[in-house]
Structure 1
């Protein structure tokens, strides 16, 4: 049987990681994988996370199963962090295996509710969005998002395309820190999107993977809150990997905002059913870390302060890189880097130019020229800036 399996195409980012590891050159720079690194190149364990784990170790008395939907404390704490004002009579929630698991379960839920669903997804988007939908056999269409000329959002194209979504279709939106481009929508643009979705009856699925990495913990959730306040049905997939730094704990959550309490109960039961079919009970350690931090005033304050340090470090690197490139190029054509938010920016380089960066300068980034700002430090920024100019970007 197993000999009948077909080889699968390797994940482009995982392949890039292996290439980087095999490169023996000194001074090589990894800007591919989407993981935060401090100036020493380490992905640190946050102070509040260590303190929470210590408390859990000292007080936990059992490793028995949790509920199918995960622990209530975690789901409630995350609802307050993401939505602030929680419409509890309309909100269903589900602990998931990371933000990726939340996306998968959201799409499974959408298909259960509407077997003929089509998903509308930004061009470009996180490649795993497309990979999951293709594997599931879900039909999807792309809507315009990134303007390659300005390196900003093609908002007129976006509006025209998402207006074509039908009633009951899914429109997949990045809540903040768009991956892979770093180009974000303004509050005014989000309000226009809400109006389009209100008119069409399409359902937004918001991928909120980077809350706290852009303009701040609350500011990054404002678009999601606006959509939730305006529309009767909303799906939200959130991740704790980045803002809590617990990547390997695979801690995510799916929210389903329903039109009324009866629909909420149906959604809650269906979501628990989906967990049961997939992995039964969700992992608990990461979610218990998160709930311990979010429900303790001192731990939450320390976590929020360290998260701000992370965010401001990335903003500083953006400003430094934009300044270096302005000086080297004698133009402002790279100023978009300072205007983008989150871990990523898309340079707008060709695959050949990206290859030249790897071959000539040992600088690794994804083939579409997405670079991870958090992979830099103040010493490697000038190296990257010179390499970008030398590559003719």
Structure 2
């Protein structure tokens, strides 16, 4: 077996150009197959790790996926707001342990601005119930203080003490900026791998203050200066959503029903885990389509290898005949060609894995910045090993076809062929 394997290696090395093209084809197939699988699983993991320990998310009457997307992932916009009195009523509910108000709608240079209060820094959890931590500075205290996520600081080069201008709405254009009311960065959060990293955090009062004179949606009124605004009370009138943590999980469904049937205004309360499952269900068709494309690319690569082996087989009939004349039995020739296919597949897999990690190292910052997905450079998972094993097995099976043809060729056929 060792001699046959050595012979198979030398045979592959003797056909370098063809072998390299075959290996590259298999490698690209493996990169696509494992790349799609890794991004799919890491996307799910990133979404699942974004919020932890939150029992209910409450917003204006909406679908639960839409509410989850805009309140947690900063994707899309709210259909309606929540009255501040409603927030206070549910925050003081005997079943509620803590409540985090959220106000959305503004932006800064492509990053979403979120109004909240100190409960956010105290109670918000992500991943495995991990709290938010600061790499620099502290929570906001003043009316025009802001705390920014790690991606905001890194992308825009901000540090504690930097001044930023918030824009009205999602589009950060000159005529929509609150340029007379700059905010001062007082804290930078540690990286979390969640949308928190891409968020500018300000107080709820600051959201109210910067919109004085913008009541109609455009800057038509007079906006007082920062000193004047600091002397006024800016208790919020409305918020976008709220996150609730309950004293007991048993009370979740009871409070959810109470919120969904709230008579004073139409509200929706969702359980984050249930909403995530619905989101995965909606995305399952796209996942299956991507996986099907990846599998077809692998099959295409293996068929390319089969074509190469069959073509070279016609050129190697004399080689096979000489091996037979030197005492090699038909099974030795059969094993030789199967091993050649296995060696080519194995090298292609190794090259593919190396290419995958190289591409991930380059693309990781871009994927995290653009899509908020943390594609970690982790070791190969058991499921990925299973996919690799399937590719290797398929490569061996492909090798059986030219091997069987060589097995049936007679010694005289090989010795009498014209070259």
**Structure of larger gyration radius:** 2
With normalisation by structure 2, the TM-score equals 0.24
With normalisation by structure 1, the TM-score equals 0.25
